[in-house]
Chain A
Amino acid sequence: MASYFRDLWLGIVTILASMKVTARHFFIPAVTLQYPYERRKLEGWQGSAEKVFTRHQLEVDIDDCIGCLQCERACPVECITIETIKTLPGEDLGKTSTEHPKRLWVAKFDIDMEQCCYCGLCIYPCPTNCIHMTDNYEYSVYNKEKHLYHFGLMTETEAAAKRVQLEEAQRKEKEAKAREPKVSKPEKPKKAAPEKGSEGEA
């Protein structure tokens, strides 16, 4: 009998206690973010205003790219495809904003955001900080081909024409070399890109 009344009392007390908890929550401001109308401003991991290192859409400042292919190699899902073309003998592409000399045309720089796993591993090796993540997380499209982002400087036909020009120039150089027996430049047949990367870090 005593336990009956104790249970009854406990029931009343706990109901009132739970109602008190609910009543307190009526006065706590809501945590809802009204998404399409309000957006959370994303702070970069490294606090940088220009190059935001959140895990969202990748962006390449192609003018700063030296075609070192380090991001392509770092990518675990191989969503970055880069093709470079050597400069013609007389061409000077200038320097990047980080004072790295640019020695290659970056003809093709495609990022397939369909495959990207947002790991950010491509960002760290970049010697010129040209590949980075933006704070844009809303880039849904109706056509999945649109998620293949082209950052390259040339179209297919331009790249093909450039290659023909380069072959032409190399052939001429070889002929000239054949005429003069002296060997001056040993670096010609080697690929230039990997050296560039190791040179890096300004």
Chain B
Amino acid sequence: MMEELTRAMVQWFPFLADVPADLLLLAASVMAAVAILLLITVYVLAANWGERKVAAHAQDRLGPMVVGWHGWAQAIADALKLLMKEDIVPRLADKKLFVLAPVIVFASSFVAFAVLPFGEGLVASDLDIGLFFIIAVTSMITVGIIMGGWASNNKWSLLGAMRSAAQIVSYEIPVGLAVLTVVMMAGSLNLQEIVGAQEGGFWNWYGFPLRNPFTFVAMIIAFVGTLAEVNRTPFDIPEAESEIVAGYHTEYSGMKFAYFFLAEYADMFLFSALLTVLFLGGWHGPFGDAIPLPGPVWFLAKVLFLVFVQMWMRWSLPRLRVDQLMYVSWKVLTPISFANIFFLGLWMVM
């Protein structure tokens, strides 16, 4: 995609032909990064408002109503407030790590957006190991969270960070194994090719139980696992406000808190997008070409639906206990995903 972008730049602005190709490539990359950053920012503002509305209506309330039509600008007002807030670094905190942690958390989920295919060919970096890249890069989130929790020099932060590390490490295994089933089916780690293998209609999606029951089970496992990886209810143990205040970001305020917040919502989008790509046919419409909408629209619609389901679950389920969390991961999801892979292998051989 980058090469196409540079070619288009040269085509529109002929005087750019003399510029070295590497420089053009860099410019194109920066443009793509800014575009994705803009997408994330707009999405986070919208999702923040949406989450409040979903939360409110799930409890028969109205939610924000004052700022703009049905409070649509409330998230913008809150973002401005966060920007203007005092940026406090605790006196006994490890300052370097404290400042670095939110950047790492946000950067590691932002980098993963590079390989997400928003449409046919609409991907910042068409890596052949895209899936592997996402799983590898998102593991860095744990590093950032532990760093933040440790550097805050606060018992709640440290507890939250430790819980988060335990949780993410545990749930990466079933998620990885569930994702493996799709790799077995598609025979590729390239996200574009995985989406390409699900062309046609919803009956060709890996998440459709009649196409393949094992990938359907894998989708459920991956959904539960990613829910735990983004620390959403019922797996919000790392930031359980009734137990440990706010978990690893207890001491953060202002812009640094905004980074954590941005990262959490970006992660929700990222993992929903991953599930969409792997199990819900990516940019393909549910009825083949029957409804002629552009690919990115379908893609965003599916992702936002999954984000909505995450919010829906948040207001339905109570928080798990730590031992229950470990039970679900090690005694339920992991063995089932192993069995799943085994039976899928048999299915494919026969």
Contact = CB atoms under 8 A, between A and B. Distances in A.
Contacts of A23: 312
Given A8-B332, A34-B65, A19 B60 contact: no
A8 B328 CA distance: 10
Given A4-B331, A25-B58, 7 more contacts: A15-B316, A25-B57, A26-B54, A28-B60, A29-B60, A30-B57, A30-B61
Contacts of B316: 15, 18-19, 21-22
A28 to B, nearest CB: 5
Contacts of B92: none
Contacts of B60: 25, 28-32
Contact of A30 (B54, B62, B313): B62
A156 to B, nearest CB: 47
A34 to B, nearest CB: 6
A40 to B, nearest CB: 16
B317 interface: yes
A19 B56 contact: no
A22 B58 contact: yes
Contacts of B331: 4
B71 to A, nearest CB: 11
A22 B312 contact: yes
Nearest to A16: B316
A19 B316 CA distance: 5
A26 B61 contact: no
Most A CB within 10 A of own CB, among B58, B61, B65: B58
Contact of B56 (A21, A22, A30): A30
B65 to A, nearest CB: 6
A31 B63 CA distance: 11
Interface in A1-29: 4, 8, 15, 18-19, 21-23, 25-26, 28-29
Contacts of B315: 22
Contacts of B65: 34
Chain A interface size band reads: 10 to 19
A103 B214 CA distance: 96
Interface string B281-322: 000000000000000000000000000000011011100000
7 contacts: A22-B58, A25-B59, A26-B54, A26-B58, A30-B56, A31-B61, A34-B65
Interface of B: 54, 56-62, 65, 312-313, 315-317, 331-332
A183 to B, nearest CB: 75
A21 B315 CA distance: 10
A32 B70 CA distance: 13
A15 B59 CA distance: 18
B57 A34 contact: no
State the 6 A-B residue pairs at the shortest beta-carbon distance, nearest first. A32-B62, A18-B316, A22-B316, A30-B62, A19-B316, A22-B58
A30 B52 CA distance: 14
B62 A34 contact: yes
Contacts of A26: 54, 57-58
A67 B226 CA distance: 76
Contacts of A21: 316
Contacts of A15: 313, 316-317
A19 B311 CA distance: 11
A18 B57 CA distance: 15
Contacts of B317: 15, 18
A26 B58 CA distance: 5
Interface string A26-47: 1011111010000000000000
A4 B330 CA distance: 13
A158 B340 CA distance: 96
Contacts of B61: 30-32
A19 B62 contact: no
Nearest to B332: A8
Nearest to A19: B316
Contacts of A4: 331
Contact of B313 (A19, A25, A28): A19
Contacts of B56: 30
A25 B60 CA distance: 6
Contacts of A31: 60-61
A114 B259 CA distance: 48
Nearest to B327: A7
A134 to B, nearest CB: 28
